[in-house]
Structure formats: C-alpha cells, structure tokens
Chains A and B, each alone.
Chain A
Amino acid sequence: MKDLAAKAADPAVRELLEKARRQGVETVWDRYEAQLPQCGFGELGVCCRNCVQGPCRISPFEDGPQRGICGATADTIVARNLVRAIAAGTAAHSGHARHLAHALHRWAEGKAPDYPVRDEQKLRAVAARLGLQAQGFSVKELASRVASEALAQFSEGEGVLAWLKSTLPPGRLEALGRLGVLPRGIDTAISEVMHRTHLGVDADPVNLLLGGISCALADYAGCHLATDLADILFGTPAPVVSEANLGVLKADHVNIALHGHNPLLSDLVVRAAREMQEEARAAGAAGVNLVGICCTGNEVLMRHGVPPLTHSVSQELPMLTGALDTVVVDYQCVYPSLAGVAECTGTRLITTMGMAKIPGAAHVEFTEEEAAEKAREIVRLAVEAFAARRGRPVHIPPHKSRVVAGFSVEAVVAALSRLDAADPLKPLLDNIAAGNIQGVCLFAGCNNVKVPQDENFLVMARELAARDVLCLATGCGAGAYARHGYLTPEATLEYAGPGLKAVLTAIGEANGLGGPLPLVLHLGSCVDNSRAVDLAVAVASRLGVDTAQLPVVASAPEFKTEKAVAIGTWAVALGFPVHLGLVPPVLGSAAVTEVLTAKAREILGGYFMVETDPVKAAEKIYAAIGERRRALGLATRPW
C-alpha cells in the first residue's frame, strides 16, 4: 500500500492500480519505471534534433562538447527547445478553437444544423467586446461575423489581434507592444517559431524567448477564443451540482466516458444520450450513464453536470472496473495505451477526429454536417458493447465525492451581484483590501506520473486556503479537487481560514445556498484559464492597476504537456508569478533559467518559480502574494 501511496493520492485510483498489478495490466506507472533512468541531456534541455547533422547534445560538464555541430550553444538549444514546446501547445489550443469557429461558421452558412447558437447573450457580449455592430443583425448574421472574426485571428493581420485587444488592459498591451511580442496572427506566431528554430536562424537565447512569449500570447488568444466559442455554441456555464470519481459508474447502465478536450462532439453525445435512453433500456440496461475524463469531461461537467470519472495519468484505470462500455475520445492528452487496456477489458475505444487516430481503436469520423448523427452512432455502439458485457463481473470502487462546479466569470459576477448589484466586484475587492482574502491562486495544469497523483494540488490548496488565499482551478487540477471533495461547501468549512470562510459563506448565503461556496472554484477546462484572466483583468481595471500588481499567482504543480508550457508562459507575460511543481527542461542553460525566473520579472512583472515540495511551494506563493500586497499598501500576515 505504501508504494501505491507514492503513485496516487486518490483511493479509487489506488484500488484499481492494485487490480492492474494483479491482472498484469501495464499502466503509465509501469512504463515510467521502465523509462528510468531518463536521459539527462533531455532533462536538461540540451539535446537538439533540429537537423540531420545531429542529434547533438551539450555536455553539462566542462570537458565535453560545449557546442552542437552547427555551433549552437546550450543557451541556444535550450531556448529553441522551449519555444518549440510553446508553439506545439499553441497549435493544440488554437486547433481546438479553430474547430469551434468552423462549426459556428458552418451553422451560420446553414451547413451544420447541429450547431445552433445556444447562448445568444454570450454571442452578443462577445460581439460587443469586439466592437462589432450587433443591433439589427439576426443571430445567424451575428454568428457569421463573430466566426469570421475568430477565423481571421489565425492568419497574419494588421494591428493587435482582436482577441488580445478586447480582453487585456491597454497598459499591458502597450508594454507588450514595446517589447515587440504582440503576435500578428495565431498561425503566424506558430509558424514563426518553427522558422526561427530551424537550423541557422535565431541563435540569440533572449530573442528566442521573446519569440516564445509572442507565440504564448497567441496561445492565450486561442484559449480565449475556445472558451468564448464553446459558450456561444453550448451555453455559458452556471453553477451545477454533480459527483466525481470512479464510484459514479453504474453497473446496470451503458457507461460511456467522454475523453479529450473539445466539447464539439461530446456536447452532442450528451444530447444524443438523453434521447436514446429507450434504446439502452431495450438492450437491458437501466439507461445511459455518461462520465467524463480530462477536459472534455470538464466541459460537459460545467454545462451538463456530467460526472467526472478520473483525470490525466489515471485515464487507463476506469476500464479495469469492467463496467465501462465505451471510451469516446477527441484529442489531446489521450494516451495511445488506452487501446491495449481496452483490448484486455472488452471496452470499446472510439476515436472521432481524422487527425487523431489510435491503432487498435474503432474510428467514427466526426463531421460538422452530421455531428448529431455521429453522436447517435457512438451511443449505439456503446449500447452494443453493453449487451456484450452483460453477465460479466464488475468492480467499481465505491469512492465518489460531491462536486459544485460551473464557475464561469458570468456565474461568479452573478453570485457577487447578490451582495452588491450596482458594483459586483466591490465585495471581492473590499475583502482583498481588508485581508479576509489575502490573494488568489489559480491551480492549473495536468497530473504528472513523476508526482503522486493529485498530492501537490491537495497539499497546496490546504496550505493556502488555511491562510485565506482564494483558490481557483481549471483542467486536471480542477479534476483532482473534484475527486477529493474540495469542490464542496464542506471543504470550505474544513480547510478555509477564518477570513476566506466568512467571505465564501457570505456569498453562498446571499445566493440561497445555505452555506459557503466551495473551497476551490472550478472555472472549467484548460482553455478556460482564459476565464481566470478575465476575472483578474476585471479586478485590475476596477482598481486602476496593472495585472502585474495584483496579488494573484498561478500554479501548475503537476504539469506535463506542451500546452501547459504555453499557458505558463502567457501567464508570466500577463504579469503573474507562475509556480511549477516539476523542473522544466531548461537547466542546461543558466542564461535561459535566469531569464525565466528573474529577468522576466523586470520586463513583464511575471516570472517562473520552480519548487517541487508542495509545502515549500505554497510558502513561496504566499510570499509572492504578500510582496504584491505590500506594494499596494495592504497589510500582510506572516506564513
């Protein structure tokens, strides 16, 4: 049991890991062991595979090669590798956004009937923010204009990207403009990073990092686009009550897990499943039970209350319950190993995106034109899988927690307006000024097999909440808090400091909840980190200060993906201190490390802090919050 504790904090995950071990099913933890020791050059970021004279690696010691074959130093190579990771992350987030923009555009053209605007208010709000004339236009006409505006963000344009210009404070845009890091298009920024990291282009590590920051700002635009468009197409989230963890599986139901990132298909599967309960009953099931994994799970939790099953590194395990009939995936963070586990357990694994297939999986090609029919086809395949499963034993770990999620900015402002309808942000600002809320920490990012799953998230939220730091969460971080019961009023009563508890209780009671808001506010999926920015920008604008002055910190305590690298970088560019719970592959260059952790602070206000110990990390975050409070003339408290 001790060694299981080193792998995961979640008892449901531990239970199925034990089962995987008994049954000889290989998991991410086994493959990690098999990869040890991992290459030190890769860990330091000093290996370069960008040309076929290589691969080259720079010796971290003095008597080995200090330059690659082309002459690139460790500084150049580390910077190039880092900015390429940012470009990949940007491509992923913005690819997700682009798919949504296409769907909205196709609907407006009358070619994708399954994608009507479901939130006209959000459509009009986004149009107004972009400065588009909305009056006199039908929903379809306005949708067409917003979708065109969205698609125009990708190619090279004139001036500042509309999604940056309309969401960031003017002072911040000016500062970024002076640095020359405002991207001219999302695809342009990605492609420029690929160009400048090609053999023999940019060798200056600082210039490379500035290119990376520019690309990261394009990633922010992509994330924000994805959030806005998903809200327009599927509805802006509002508080919703659900449950999380493996105990939400139901033995007598057709269990379908929605895994990946984009609500594009998963939202329609939710609608299809509601209509097809009768088909499930005809096959002998009590109904269809949808569950979520990773950020697709967050999207359908926020909008439909679909219970999250598990997240990130534990994604292989739910199939071992024997109760999961189908796993439907779109893209990003979907381990190809799922196919092997599915073969062992008889689960049907279905890929849906033409650009994201997995050997061994069934493929149902998603199209915008026939999206609802494809969703029904998927549910039908799941019903068939249920019929094949009947009679086989299941083992569903009994663990589940209640969850209150759905905190879009709109929902937060609505909740605050019950305290002050004329000036909803005022109660929040007053409480920050009075010290009842010391500051805000946004927990984002993934799980990483190198950290006992969820452990860093849990320890840090407890440490910070006890000291009256308001905790927000997105992505698999939010998932961790969901499975461990931290998205509940009970957690607030148990873990929040007296000031935070009083504020969350006042808001909760003003909204008729009869108790506090949850300890951690679930803002959504990883693209929904944009929601946290909107909140911070609103607060900064209301106070008349720059985002870099706010007592707001972001933390990715268990990150792993290139997307997380992109998000972390734009958070720094927007002026926030960003904590990383794992050492990124940059230590091979002292110069790059120095820029990321110190020099960035001078030019951007934001900077990276690396700390692998969660208690020490919380202490450092608290210190960063305190430093900003002091600069604003607000009282601070010792750790």
Chain B
Amino acid sequence: MPREILIDFARCTGCLSCRLACAVAHTQAKSLFDAVLAGEKPRARIFVHQLGQQKAPINCRHCTDAPCLDACMAGAMYRKEDGTVTNEGGEQRCVGCWMCVMVCPYGAITSDAAGTVALKCDRNCRDESGTPACVRACPTGALVYTEVEDYSAHRRHGALGKILAGGAGAP
C-alpha cells in the first residue's frame, strides 16, 4: 500500500515549519542557509490557514480520480508510477491555463512566482526513507506520512479510547 500525507488537524500550531521545509526542498541549494545566501526565492506547495482559532495545513491529496488530470488541456498533468500527480517532467509542458487550479477541490494548486505555470506538490522532496520534507519538518505530528489503513486504525483507537473512557453506557 502506498503512503500518503495525512493531517491530524488538532495538532497544527501554525508554525509554518512545513512551508519552510517544502520551499527549501524545492531550491537548488537544498538548505535553508545556502538558499537564503544564494538569493533563491522558492515557493512552498503546502499551505497553512487559520480559521478562527484553528490552524490547519492543506496540501495536494494526489486523488485517485484527480480532477486536475482530467482538466489539463495541455496534457502536462500526469500520474507517476508511485501515484504522484504532477505537471513537471512529463511529455507535455504546462501552459499556465489554470484549469487545474479551478477544478482542484482543495485549492492545493497555485502558480509559480512568475505566474507562468501551475505549481503543486510533486513529492520531489523525499529523503532516503521516502518521507516528504513537510512531514519531516512538522514538530507536532500534525502531518503524518503513513498508509491509510494504519492511519485509520490509529484514529479508531483514539475514538474508541474516548468512547470507553466515558463509561459503558456511552454512545
């Protein structure tokens, strides 16, 4: 089973470490200090928003039935063997028509700094263990890189723990 970037929303403190790490992973220098010294201006492909008191990250879900793939007129958006959906390194080049931006239900696709091509999570940031940069950078465990089955089992454990702690008669 492939691993996915999953989000435990309650754990996000809004520190933006994931955005910083994502941006650095997409530089030539591959390090924060060297990228800053070289004047590189990378863009993060994961987002953190604040809604009321709740801080929450969101990124590309690499959907199985991906609307961005269907909407891409240029044929630049494609799926790699490992499931990653990307508009980079394929047969066709992104022309910046922004159809993918319009159809993405999560708003996870944006534009490059020049406003010429679409920019999205490409998972080209994974280390030797295959873990994405944003997940490595997350200090609270709000971003988790794991198999969906494992994650949902973990969620069930948490939910059952709460239910049973409420007493036998709890719903």
Contact = CB atoms under 8 A, between A and B. Distances in A.
Question: Do A and B truly interact?
Answer: yes
Interface of A: 36-41, 43-44, 57, 59-61, 63-65
Given A60-B13, A61-B11, A37 B139 contact: no
A63 B144 CA distance: 13
Given A37-B55, A40-B15, A64 B48 contact: no
A61 B14 contact: no
Listed from nearest, the 10 A-B pairs whose CB atoms lie closest are A40-B13, A37-B14, A37-B50, A37-B55, A39-B15, A36-B50, A40-B14, A41-B15, A40-B15, A61-B140
B141 A39 contact: no
Contacts of A65: 139
B16 interface: yes
Interface of B: 11-16, 48-50, 55, 139-141
Nearest to B57: A37
Given A61-B141, A64-B139, A64-B141, A41 B13 contact: yes
Given A60-B13, A61-B11, A37 B49 contact: yes
Contacts, number: 39
A457 B49 CA distance: 30
Contacts of A43: 13
Nearest to B8: A61
A270 B52 CA distance: 46
Contacts of A41: 13, 15, 139
B140 A59 contact: yes
29 contacts: A36-B49, A36-B50, A37-B14, A37-B16, A37-B48, A37-B50, A38-B14, A38-B50, A39-B13, A39-B15, A39-B16, A40-B12, A40-B13, A40-B14, A41-B13, A41-B15, A41-B139, A43-B13, A44-B13, A57-B15, A59-B139, A59-B140, A60-B140, A61-B11, A61-B141, A64-B139, A64-B140, A64-B141, A65-B139
A586 to B, nearest CB: 16
A63 B8 CA distance: 14
A36 B141 CA distance: 20
B95 to A, nearest CB: 30
Nearest to B138: A64
Contacts of A44: 13
A65 B14 CA distance: 17
Nearest to B142: A61
A36 B14 CA distance: 8
A308 to B, nearest CB: 34
Contacts of B55: 37, 40
A151 to B, nearest CB: 44
Nearest to A42: B15
Contacts of B141: 61, 63-64
Contacts of B48: 37
A469 B94 CA distance: 67
Contacts of A39: 13-16
A65 B140 CA distance: 9
Nearest to B51: A37
Contacts of A61: 11, 140-141
A37 B15 CA distance: 8
A37 B58 CA distance: 13
Contacts of A57: 15, 139
A139 B48 CA distance: 64
Contacts of B13: 39-41, 43-44, 60
Contacts of B16: 37, 39
A53 to B, nearest CB: 15
A355 B48 CA distance: 38
A216 B139 CA distance: 34
Among B12, B14, B50, max chain A CB count under 10 A is at B14
Nearest to B56: A37
A63 B158 CA distance: 15
